[in-house]
A and B are shown apart, each in its own frame.
Chain A
Amino acid sequence: MYPNPNTFFDEVTRIVVRLPDDVSPNPGATRFVAIAEEKLGDVCCPPILLDDALPDAFMSGYELVDRLCMGRAQRVVDGAIRVAGSVVTPEGYLRLWRMARDEAVELRALERGYAISLTFSLQGKLAMIQAAAAGRLGGNEVYREFFRIFQDCIDVDASGWVSIESGDLNREGAAQLVYAMAEMLPRRALAAVRLKARHLANPRHLHGVEPLAFVEKV
């Protein structure tokens, strides 16, 4: 049974994950991943990433507000997204996210505190990835290190198509390597790195509601 489309998304949690300081080569630019948890009627949706395409999904502080203003904060205006059941102003909504950013959690605390697993996937032609690495200063080192760290979860088929379905970001230096790899790949190329978030269990704060698998990311 599909939910009534006239109902609203009820945002129950805003989680901002602070990535290690060395993720981005720019000094002083802390990067974040933003995740919203919401309910649709009586069912809970999978965690929603504000952006899932890397490297953009690793956002700086102002990019987080930028993404909100381009999407979710506009949907708050006519009540398509509500907070804990209440209609809020976009100003109030942005303030809630700023508070979440100020209380950002570490990557390792995400699973423990919110029962959410944050992983990445990579799909692409091996030759294309190698060419992108060769064309970038230090790219070959990134390529070698990336394939060394994730060698156990890389799948390469006979046609040279590489895929990682669920790469662990908690490995030592993984976030930095994933960012560097995603930044190396040209936009709209036949290769992409994406973030994925999913509930490991029915989380405590959504307890008692039926998990909903078919609600797509908004």
Chain B
Amino acid sequence: MSYRIEYAWKAFVEELPVKVKPRRYVVCTLGGDNNTLHGNDSQPTRCWEVGMLGDESAVIKRAVFIGRTCESGELKPYGRAMSPEGYIRIIRRALAAAVPVSDDAYWYPAVSVSPDSPLVGMAMRMALTVTPYREYGQDRVRVEFDGASRLTVFDFASAFPELQAWCLAKASIRNAH
């Protein structure tokens, strides 16, 4: 059976300029499918991607949602069967060890949606630049961020909780520890 393996988790913390609950988290997972192998060494492929995004409550909610796939065996942290409760605990530990971004490990907003998504209107109201492009024959819109506006991606995450975190941000991590 095909399933996803997650090998490592890393959380970044950001401080928003607000008084109530200013902390936001970006939880990245190193994972890949069990039956997708590298051509040269036949090891399962793996890459870092953003799995959860938002305040602590939003991240734990997303962990509960993703954790459901542990129960049916579609997700195996460390390649082993695990309960959703175990997966939520892993994410809690990652949040407790959250670090700010560094040169070696960082996340960046990368929002790409369909042109008719209400997110496009929200981005334009926030005076962000939207760039249409085509990908695999489909029309898409990319939202451009700069250093000052990158944290507005958390507004998108809370306004559109149905969007997966990997549609909103990407991560580059050279050293997981």
Contact = CB atoms under 8 A, between A and B. Distances in A.
Interface of A: 62, 65-66, 68-70, 73-74, 77-78, 89-91, 94-95
A91 B71 contact: no
Nearest to A92: B85
A74 B61 CA distance: 5
Contacts of B83: 94
B57 A78 contact: yes
Interface of B: 57, 60-61, 64-65, 67-68, 71-72, 83-85, 88-89
B71 A62 contact: yes
B71 A90 contact: no
Given A62-B71, A70-B65, A94 B85 contact: yes
Contacts, number: 41
Q: A-B pairs with the 9 shortest C-beta distances? A: A69-B68, A91-B85, A65-B71, A74-B61, A62-B71, A66-B68, A90-B64, A78-B57, A77-B61
Given A65-B71, A66-B72, A77 B84 contact: no
A90 B60 contact: yes
Given A69-B64, A77-B64, A91 B88 contact: yes
A89 B83 CA distance: 15
A66 B126 CA distance: 37
Given A65-B71, A74-B61, A90-B88, 19 more contacts: A62-B72, A65-B68, A65-B84, A66-B68, A66-B71, A66-B72, A68-B68, A69-B65, A69-B71, A69-B84, A70-B68, A77-B64, A78-B61, A89-B88, A90-B64, A91-B88, A91-B89, A94-B83, A94-B85
Contacts of B68: 65-66, 68-70
B162 to A, nearest CB: 12
Contacts of A69: 64-65, 67-68, 71, 84
A208 B65 CA distance: 36
5 contacts: A66-B72, A74-B61, A77-B57, A90-B60, A91-B88
